[in-house]
Amino acid sequence: MKSLCTFLLLLLQATSFARVISVYAGNHPTIKEAIASANDFDTVNVEKGLFKEGNIVIDKPLYFSGNHTTLDGENKYEIISVTSSHVTIDGFTIINSGVSGMVDYAGIKVKNKSHVVITNNTLKNCFFGIYLQQAGSCIIRNNKVTGIKTEEQQSGNGIHCWKSAKLLIEGNTITGQRDGIYFEFVTNSVIKNNFSHNNLRYGLHFMFSNDDTYLSNRFENNGAGVSVMFSHGVHMYYNRFYNNWGDSAYGILLKEISDSKILYNQFENNTSAIYMEGASRVQMSMNLFKNNGWGIKIQASCMDINVHLNNFTGNTFDVSTNGSLVLNSFNHNYWDKYEGYDLNKDKMGDVPFHPVSLFATIIENNPPAIFLFRSFITALMDKTEKLLPGITPKDLVDDNPYMQPVKL
């Protein structure tokens, strides 16, 4: 208790004597001079104007704020480098960082520090937008990151986080970058209320990161959708995956993930809403799969996947798989293709539903057969398979399909 009181007293003294240093375009002090002369926890307020000061290093605890202020890296420099903890960067327009195949230039970079807040900034034409490396307890909130490159090798990620923990990524808009949000070796963090769209590769690219939560984000029109791989303890709630189209595009690709939950999400107008490979112990409930090419592609390498209480409407194929051994559970879902009946009026079908069609199985093994889609012969094959099943996986079945859509 005594040490806590001493810390609070020191913090109160530091904030009581904090100064505000204002910087004006074309005058002294420059931004770099103001930072050099500032004391810990001072405010450096940069007024309206265009500033070209190369790489600006913030090496002490500061509140660094802009007022319609533009920092231009002139396509040469990393623009802001944070080398101190307890820094806030608020209200800048940051443009034109350097581009390199050897150096990860960024609009704002934080390395090996904690308690950094990056908020209300606009970043445009930066190789990497906001870059966190070995950072902790940082907040990235309400920023707009826009890339203008058309090739992946000329563009980095919008918000790039590596080997970090306890991050909050909230309310950002990212577009035109290689990946919108990139997580690698990041734990116990939250990605919330972001809009990641029209990025060259993934709206979200996530690897080797455990115990993270994705909440109420929107991923739309990204080159390959969203990818979540080699992780466990992933919680994805209330996200929207829209209009991710292409030969190798997905609403979300799940590869080698385990002990995770995917709840209350919307998957609409994607080539494949969910593609799962090597996943285990994943709960998928209360999701909407609407107007996708494939609702779920679940490979035979997946096990203990529980698909319960979801709605499947308007998909070309609801479910497909590449094997006959099924170690997963489908139950109490609504399928608009279900043609059964409910004689006892318990709102569940009296006849089990097999969501994998014969034609979906044929396409899985012979993709060019898609050209026969909607032909008379494919409809006849599917009807025959329902009467005399022999090719589709007999254990991939919903024994209790709902007659009406689940209320999500």
d(CA 320, CA 294): 8
CB atoms within 10 A of CB 265: 26
Cis peptide before 405 (omega within 30 of 0): no
Nearest alpha-carbon partner for 76 in 97, 51, 106, 57: 97
Q: pTM of the entire structure?
A: 0.89
Query: What is the number of alpha carbons within 13 Å of residue 90 lying toward its C-beta?
Result: 12
Domain that includes residue 50, residue range: 16-317
Domain-located, residue 372 = no
Residue 403 inside a domain? The answer is no
Assigned domain for 67 exists = yes
Instruction: Tell whether the torsion through CA atoms of 323, 328, 331 and 335 is positive or negative.
Output: negative
**Which pLDDT score is estimated for 138?**
98
Here the CATH number for the domain that contains residue 198 is 2.160.20.10
Query: Is residue 159 situated within a structural domain?
Result: yes
pLDDT single digits (tens) 20-62:
999 999 888 999 999 999 999 999 999 999 999 999 999 999 9
> Within a domain: residue 11?
no
**Residue 367 confidence (pLDDT) above 80:** no
Average confidence (pLDDT) over 261-267: 98
Alpha-carbon distance of 182 to 178, in angstroms, equals 9
Position 252 in a domain: yes
pLDDT for the residue numbered 394 = 72
Whole-number Å distance between alpha carbons of 83 and 55 = 12
Per residue in 101-138, pLDDT (tens digit) is 889 999 999 999 999 999 999 999 999 999 999 999 99
Domain count, the chain: 1
| Residue 20 falls inside a structural domain | yes
Contact 265, 296 (CB under 8 A): no
Confidence of residue 7 (pLDDT cuts 50, 70, 90): very low
Q: Per the domain annotation, does 354 fall within a domain?
A: no
